Structure 1
């Protein structure tokens, strides 16, 4: 157990991300390739929180497959990585969230597929349609452990997937649109490596923003949520979640993401994808997401009501 914790800790020493805030979840590398990742260390009450508080983490499995939000969630999967310490030879597993984009690219955080330091990705994959603990109906696709593009400062990585997963699961739409303060948002992710959920209850951009590439938000996440796209009312990804930091006793606390507007200025691949996308791309098995005017992220203006508006 001690060796496992040290290996996980080493993952972040070079990633420009605070260890206590980064949201990768570790697993035993011998479990790589399994849908359900056994919990081999103490997790406190986090698992019970997910199971019991479905108002904060809403299971995608409970949505009607024809629902616009179910379609929005379809290109999002769990990224599993095995990393090797180049100095000691020890391996460790880590799980994040990733999103399919045109060209069979997968977008996630750089600290999920690190390209510097002692830990190097040995193999990686994305598990699609992981909706229930038994993994029934899920499907795994290998992804290149060496991303086609990456940047540690902006904390993003774009890796190629094998097996043409976008043919079955479609792709997400990304946008460099500005994110104003108090914008309602939604995050679809795999907290603790568990089945896919969404966070939309009181999920919005903070009123006070740092004024750079970072976006401060109040959307609930946990370890494993790193690399998840943040969507706005136009059902386009506008930020890439990367760090935790919310404190239930501190209303001024926040989680952190990187604005897609900043990433698109740096990434040739993502800029080309965003420029070519004029409408959400859905697979033949998924319905087209709702248009922007429906604002599916703020049902009955609930977020506005909760903020006293």
Structure 2
């Protein structure tokens, strides 16, 4: 254990059902000053098109994160001995106005990025990824993207709106935030509105790996190929929609689709990002009202821990 960096409050120091209600029971602070990684909640759900409730996601993921311990036993990763990490709270959204909320999120992340901290974000619906990418692009330029999802999120409009949770990656590509040739979408599946629903991404150069191509196999070799395409020096963003996983392991989400990725495959994808120049990550679309056991939020907390372990410079213990 390092006394140089913040450490989570241990379960033998304070019962896990008590103590601070921060992510991993880490210290909290009001901004990202002095941090290597800033954990941010973005409790937005007015960009969603089906079941609401993701506004409660950050709070519930934090609650379930008490069960996450500080070392990755498979990877030997030690993120809290590697980085200064703290929970800087939630973005103060406009509950009634999506357009204003998007501007608020971008401005909030401008301040985070200006400190040099890398954001690890807890959603909220997937709309939050667009203003985060806009803020990161101002510092890093065009990014590689690893996108886990049941849906491509490349609609041109939804009910006439250009920005909602199902349009964000079309906007990100159009705005030059993401390099289409270094974009990978994993887990897309189920039904669509036309036979070509996933093809627009491919036309921009993206690699689309549908869920059927992931059935009954390890995704570690897939991620070897993803890392090779991205390279070690391209700024990379990871956007993980919990509905990319099968509803049997992640039922608490707004737009569940059958026959998705397993929890183990989700871990393989995140662990497979290690070795890229990861500059930020999000975990979105956890909807606690549909998560009666808390298992979706608990899985989300573990996935967020794995994201910490995948930032460059995370130490591996012998």
> Which structure carries more strand by proportion?
1
Same fold (TM over 0.5): no
Q: TM (normalized to structure 2)?
A: 0.28
Q: TM (normalized to structure 1)?
A: 0.29
> Which structure carries more helix by proportion?
2
